[in-house]
Structure 1
């Protein structure tokens, strides 16, 4: 189990999101009042390609442990800075398989769809940050550390301090890929 340490949303397409005391998740849509809320894609580059694509990026989660790792490399980040809706602690989000379900608080349920693909806006936010959130494993495969994306299966309110329950999908597990 992990814990929600911060929640954020923004109705505009800005890089960082302001923190709030609570957010409301809407089944099949995402975070109420957020620019990325909707059944179809809302990310501007994806809308330009095909606005009818399903929105697999309704909610963005990052583990706070990433901020600590980045701080050791000279970066200063706080919850919401990288545009995430939910900042977590105590749960290795990047190691979870696709289709994992996360129970956020008493009611909300999210299904993980994949990894956030960091874009050039990260570099504009803090020079060098794009490289810092990308790495390579022993085989040279790209590692994306900028969080995970999901879709909302059941709505509800999410607040800092809420517990996060984890339900893994049936085997065989499928590694997260960028969405």
Structure 2
């Protein structure tokens, strides 16, 4: 029997100066916190209480309320980069263990603990802030080629989350479109864009982008 997936760490960030984003500050430097943290659907910003979103044009809001990344993928990157990558270093709110986050289906739902219910909505797309924060040469390209982006989640039912909470996958849609495939479609493999169009659980903004790019490709 496979072990129960769990939340290894809950991470929040405060605004710190940066030269790599337009606002001049970023909340990407997220640190583990102890004790339960309340999570709720935000109109904008983060859904995780105490977490800071500095550029709401591109981050936060209902479809990007929570960002999750797998501890196993962090460990792989740590080996490749030959440096320590602690929980939260990729800007993730939830560092998971025993869960294939990038292999999760769009619209898949996770029950965390007894109350919190999250729904997988989209992949994380790397940006210059991420590259500047890590300080790795060509990081956006390397991250894109690996196609292990982690997942944004929307809040279906509010509730607390803490390290050690069990994660149960309680819904898996039939369409079969996973986070990694969406990421590949919108980054390096536009031939996959048509697979995004019928999936209603994707954010409408992302579906519109896929329609435009697929249409331009067809022309």
Range of TM-score over shorter length: 0.7 to 0.9
Is 1:46 the counterpart of 2:54? The answer is: no
CA distance in structure 2 between the partners assigned to 1:55 and 1:110 by the alignment: 11
TM-score, normalization by structure 1: 0.79
Report the alpha carbon displacement of residue 9 of structure 1 after superposing the two structures with TM.
Answer: 1.4
Report the alpha carbon displacement of residue 126 of structure 1 after superposing the two structures with TM.
Answer: 2.7
Partner of 2:7: 4
Report the alpha carbon displacement of residue 130 of structure 1 after superposing the two structures with TM.
Answer: 3.2
Q: Tell me how large the CA RMSD over aligned residues is.
A: 2.3
Report the alpha carbon displacement of residue 132 of structure 1 after superposing the two structures with TM.
Answer: 3.6
TM-score, normalization by structure 2: 0.66
Is 1:134 the counterpart of 2:144? The answer is: yes
**Contact 2:65 2:155 (8 Å CA) reproduced:** yes
Is 1:166 the counterpart of 2:169? The answer is: yes
CA distance in structure 2 between the partners assigned to 1:76 and 1:130 by the alignment: 19
CA distance in structure 2 between the partners assigned to 1:65 and 1:117 by the alignment: 19
| Deviation readout 1:34-56 (Å, 9 max, x if unpaired) | 224xxxxx744438xxxxx9631
CA distance in structure 2 between the partners assigned to 1:123 and 1:46 by the alignment: 16
**Contact 1:110 1:152 (8 Å CA) reproduced:** yes
| Structure with the higher fraction of residues in strand conformation | 1
Report the alpha carbon displacement of residue 111 of structure 1 after superposing the two structures with TM.
Answer: 0.4
CA distance in structure 2 between the partners assigned to 1:80 and 1:46 by the alignment: 19
| Deviation readout 1:121-153 (Å, 9 max, x if unpaired) | 2221231343442226xxxxxx2x231101111
CA distance in structure 1 between the partners assigned to 2:67 and 2:58 by the alignment: 16
Structure 1 residues without counterparts, runs of 5 or longer = 37-41, 48-52, 137-142
**Contact 1:25 1:32 (8 Å CA) reproduced:** yes
CA distance in structure 1 between the partners assigned to 2:131 and 2:87 by the alignment: 17
Q: Secondary structure at the match of 1:95?
A: coil
Report the alpha carbon displacement of residue 67 of structure 1 after superposing the two structures with TM.
Answer: 1.5
**Contact 1:70 1:132 (8 Å CA) reproduced:** no
Distance 1:157 1:54, change over 3 A: closer
Q: How does 1:82-121 map to 2 (within 5 A)?
A: 82-121=90-129
| Structure with the higher fraction of residues in helix conformation | 2
Q: How does 1:18-97 map to 2 (within 5 A)?
A: 18-21=31-34, 22-28=36-42, 30-36=47-53, 43-46=55-58, 55-73=62-80, 74-97=82-105
Q: Secondary structure at the match of 2:13?
A: coil
